[in-house]
Amino acid sequence: MQKADFWIEHLGLARHPEGGYYRENYRSGGFYTFTDNGKLNGKRAWATSIFYLLKNTERSRLHRIHSDELWFYHDGSPLTVHVFPEDNEPSSFTLGLSADKGQVIQETVPAGSWFGALPENPDEESYSLVSCVVAPGFEFGDLVFARRDTMLEKFPLHRKIIEQLT
């Protein structure tokens, strides 16, 4: 297994505001035009894709966007994504290759859900390398970070993970 710094250099990854490293590797040439739907407005690429890497003790801060986000596992430690839908109970999934342990190689976070991620094996050398596909395409203006107090009020039984991800 390669080390995190190899992938950061090899893939040309840069720091991401939510934590970790990323590089957009696809933005469709086609686009949707949204008018006055309250969330997505104007031109939006059909889809976008990024490489995303979290080092051993990093996290993807709890955030949400207005589009579905598909996560694909590539390499490194398993990565657990915690999902807090507005109208449903929180859940999680773990990206990895051990299907016998309930890990999956691909899963979707529904549009509008709060979500964040943590590597499962936070030892000195570990990392998690995934890809994320967003449709309709991602724009940084959509990215909203969760407020700890608001999340704890809405999901009081999930204090530990909310505190880790905010």
Tell me the whole-structure pTM to 2 decimals: 0.93
What is the model's pLDDT at position 94? 98
What is the model's pLDDT at position 37? 65
DSSP assignment of 46-70 equals S-EEEEEEEETT--EEEEE-SSEEE
CB 129 within 8 A of CB 74: yes
Per the prediction, the chain carries an average pLDDT of 94
Domains of the chain: 4-165 (2.60.120.10)
What is the model's pLDDT at position 66? 92
What is the model's pLDDT at position 33? 87
pLDDT digits (tens, 9 = 90+) for 74-92: 999 999 999 999 888 999 9
Cβ contacts of 142 within 8 Å, gap of 6 or more: 40, 65, 66, 67
Of 91, 79, 69, 86, which Cα lies nearest the Cα of 137? 69
pLDDT beyond 70 at 36: no
pLDDT digits (tens, 9 = 90+) for 120-151: 887 778 999 999 999 999 999 889 999 999 99
Region 108-112: mean pLDDT is 96
Region 151-161: mean pLDDT is 96
Q: How far apart are CA 111 and CA 94, in angstroms?
A: 19
pLDDT beyond 80 at 65: yes
Q: How far apart are CA 47 and CA 32, in angstroms?
A: 10
Range with lowest mean pLDDT among 6-10, 123-127, 162-166: 123-127
CB 64 within 8 A of CB 146: yes
